[in-house]
Structure 1
Amino acid sequence: MKKDTPFEWDESCRRAFQNIKDYLMKPPVLMAPTSGKPLLLYIAAQEKSLGALLAQNDDQRKERLLYYLSRTMVGAELNYSPIEKTCLALIFAIQKLRHYLLAHSTNLISRADPLKFIMSRPVLSGRLAKWALLLSEFEINFIPQKAIKRQGLVNFLADHPIPAEWEVSESLPDEEVFYIEMLPPWRMYFDGAARKNGAGAGVLFMSPSDDLMPYSFILSHCCTNNEAEYQAIILGLGMTVEMGLSQLEIFGDSALVIKQLIGEFEVRKEELVPYQKEAQRLLQKISNVTLGHVPRADNSQADALAGIAASLTQFDSRPERIPICERWVVSTLEKFSEEEEINLVSVYAIEEEDWRQQFLDYLEHKKLPEELKARSYVQRVAPKFCLFNNTLYRRSYDCILLRCVSKEEGQALLSEAHGGICGAHQAGPKLHLQVKQLGYYWPTMLRDAIELARHCTACQLHANYIHQPPSPLHPTVASWPFEASGMDIIGPINPKSSANHQYILAATDYFSKWAEAAAYKEIKATTVVDFIRTQIVYRYGVPRYIMTDNGTPFRNKTMDNFCEKFGIRQRTSTAYNPAANGLAEAFNKTLCKILKKTVAGNKKDWHERLGEALWAYRITYRTPTESTLYSFVYGVEAVLPLEIQIPSLRVSLREGLTEEENVRLRLQELESLDEKRLEAQQRLECYQARLTRAFNKNVKLRSFQKGDLVLAVRRPIMATSRYGGKFAPKWEGPFVVQEVYTNGAYKLVTPEGRRLPAINGKFLKNFIHEYSMVECKKLQPKFNYTKKCVVTNQIKRSRQQSSD
């Protein structure tokens, strides 16, 4: 109203004001759905547009509108067939109205049946397979259209879609009722540091619950700062792909790397092109990823991780654990300056506020937390909770009230459901589902269930064997014939031979695969020494080393003195790991196959057939070297008895040669022998490389450090207790890793201090356990391995005297 304008109020103004009041007092056109009643979904598809309408019958059997949608088709959608456009309208509706359809059963009303078209296809592929997957989580029933009802309105929506330039509002009229919490994506911060003496990379992952996962990597080669930045982001993306994350936000303080990856900057330096291509390849494996540049001050944690890695270049390739603790020296010194120091292990627990209190305060007194983030969280999540008889409950998606318990009560519930009465020691996800079905809830119940199942000692001891190899294959290659030999014992053989022999002692050369073997009644230390002296040293020279197992005939003082006298190094394989001496084991298998076929008539003359079996083995063509063993050692093929009976070409030619020509021909063969051996060595290395690639495809890296607690597969040599039977555990322990050898071998000790033989890493796995104070006291005098415990080394003298 303008100034100096008289105010007039007549009957028409009064009626208009009354109409406004009446309109505001009437219910809105769009209603909220009622639980327990099915929804009605109308869909329509025109030539270039789609329409959908959601309704529900009220108590008077009258349809009430809940929501309506429409849009135009774009791109390839315009080329769809009419039935495919109807399917597209259904998919468009369920994507927009997902929160409605998940809570109710839905009756689909349409002229055509899109459900039948999608589900009746014999083979689903492309978009039809994607649509079928989207429809699988809803309960939708098709009802043929019999009357117009709301179909006319749906057709109107399809004929008049929302223009493409309009901004579609994401707010829903009843989003307070059907609220679905979307977890924020993971965040990754990266940084690289290049210095004069080394380079490092730092990666920091932040989960949706703000849990931190820091990683530092020492780069093995010096590089520029930009290369270190690329190394950091590639390492982080590799871990992201391994963790299976689908949403990720990446932040770094290097504007060059970020803008080159998003395409704003061109990669001009050739040394950065391989890094940029590898990063782009890994980015394509993540479905939803964003990259952003942040100032260095906001990336301080990743910068510190990279700086630490760049400074610690003196360490080798094994991972190092650097504890970071919060301390203040002055108060500690003042407190314990006059106290006697004795060893004590104690465990402290920090009291945490009950997570239910903030919701109880809000529901009872409308009191909100002081922090802005916590205040927003309580206001958003509080509608899911309710109070009943002064007890907090949470509404589930199945409309079931779950009693809210504290974390301590939840741990007790999980322990009882996992290993208590009727506890089946289920895995973490199943345990979480069981406790939830019983009617309990706390925010971290899934994570707590997984952790409890992982820490359960019974579950670890009875877990299945790990069949994937823990480390890559390490092939053994000798550089020259008879440089190294592998020895093994075959037997006892049943039946014994006619000469009462029951053992075969065999030795195989690692380069030429030449084998020597002899039969014995029994094998002692002197037997092995005589065999090496007569069959190997006196024939082919002193080998550089001999590979054997840990049997008593090989591991004794007589053998040690003999090896020391001739300068032979003796290597042994780990227990129950014949693959470490695989060449000897392979020859044993081949020799046994030949003997089985040659002694079929009289099984007690196998000691007489042993020479024939060795002869057959030596003149057989070998795939790795692509030659026979005889020609590989002597430079010429052996003359077989068959060639004498029916003269072959080479036998006929040699008969016509003079002695001088024969000597000259033999010298030429010997001069070309070295070249043949070098070519055979190259073929052998290529053959082993193919085997290594095939083996390493199944490798799942698993390593242990000194001081780790591990479980070992039960073997007779590893058994520390005499119990067995059908219900015996598959694993035994825990043991402590005392030494780490090369090629995946470890030395273990028991908690009592008893040393065990070396064992291969494929028979080990990590033991996850939280020590109690009593268990820590038992382990502390011999081993200083206390995990997840806070160790203090001081106690007041007065407390000790009072305890005495």
Structure 2
Amino acid sequence: MTPPRHGAPLKLYVSASEVIIGGMLAQEDENGNERVIYYLSRVLNDVESRYSPIEKLCLPLYFFCLKLKYYLIPRNVYVISKFDVLKYMLSSPILHGRLGKWMLALTEFSLHFVPARAVKGQVLADFLVDHPCIDIDENLPSFVGLVPWKLYFDGSCHKSGVGIGILIISPSGEPNKFLFELNYSCSNNEAEYEALIMGLELLLERGVKNVEIFGDSQLVVHQVSLEYRCVSKNLRKYFNVATELLSKFDSVIVRHVPRELNQEANELAQIALRYKIKPSTLEKLVMEYGKSRNIKMLSSTPYYAQANRQVEAANKILIALIKKHIGRQPRNWHQTLNQVLWAYRNSPRGSTRTTLYKLVYGRDAVLPIDINLQSIRVARQDEIPVVDYWNSLHDELNELDDERLRALERVIRQKEIMSKSYNCRVKAKTFAVGDLV
């Protein structure tokens, strides 16, 4: 092993298995030969061994960057891996959960991803032999094979109406069922397209990029997979919308299945046409579900918002906005609703004197008008050094609890004012035992 040369970029090779992570720091000398600077590996602990395959591949990058911090900070570092997941981690502007925390910690480094197959040399071959990656095979493509989401859809058209049934299964096997009733008449094929489009929109809202679609309509399945041409004028508009939504996914597989294998989605579509649940039945189902999950259900007035109309009072502003804006464009409600909710979340509340967005993320959202007019906040942001900018974000997150407590104090103070105003009009009366009331 040799010490690093000043000013020359570094190469960081990372790899992972089910129980071990390994890394190697290298640098080219004046003659272009690759020299090893540091070897590092360790066994995963009990918690890390239960990470997902993607997190196990990203963990060595996070661990080695922190471990070799003083080697890496003053130089450009080329991260070399056989899988593209690290490229996604380094290039994605928004990450959530554990990956988001790791990416935030890596912002102080100058990291650049390089695919392993673009690098030659015996050093890489020896490294991969010593630290085998997860499911490496020369015949496999150079990306991580993600388990796709599964979408089962079905549409049912009867004289009583049109029903849509959708079954979405997450990569972990968790099922999500949806059923809708359309308030307009259409053909059976149009109902199938409506179910497919609704299912795709639900997946895109969740940020899904890989999906496997199953349907029992041969016409719809073969049209969206471009095996059949769509010649019907009535179906053409549905086909265009469906293909546009499908283009937003990274990987799509469309399969035709017999009706008996699509039974659950078909039953959901049938239920949507005839299933009307009473409020009392719904309340009973909720109580039974809570009991099965060991959840204590309180129905007293202070806690039971449905009984004392607190829900209506809290949502009256949102309901008024929805009626006002969606009433103008009822056919584009799915586009207008997002705008209404966005405006509601970014408008200061009278009771808290702040926005819902700030109470969640610790700072106000940057509005489109701020960008178009180049407000002071936007103009000054580029002048702030990167380190100071991220430090300010950390400070705002640390102060978030205090901001939420101040908002709660304002709500309590407003309630006390309202209570005092109401109680001043109450006339006190006393009663003795035996008085008629």
TM-score (norm 1): 0.26
Q: Quick check: which has more Rg, 1 or 2? A: 1
Normalised to the residue count of structure 2, the TM-score between the two structures is 0.43
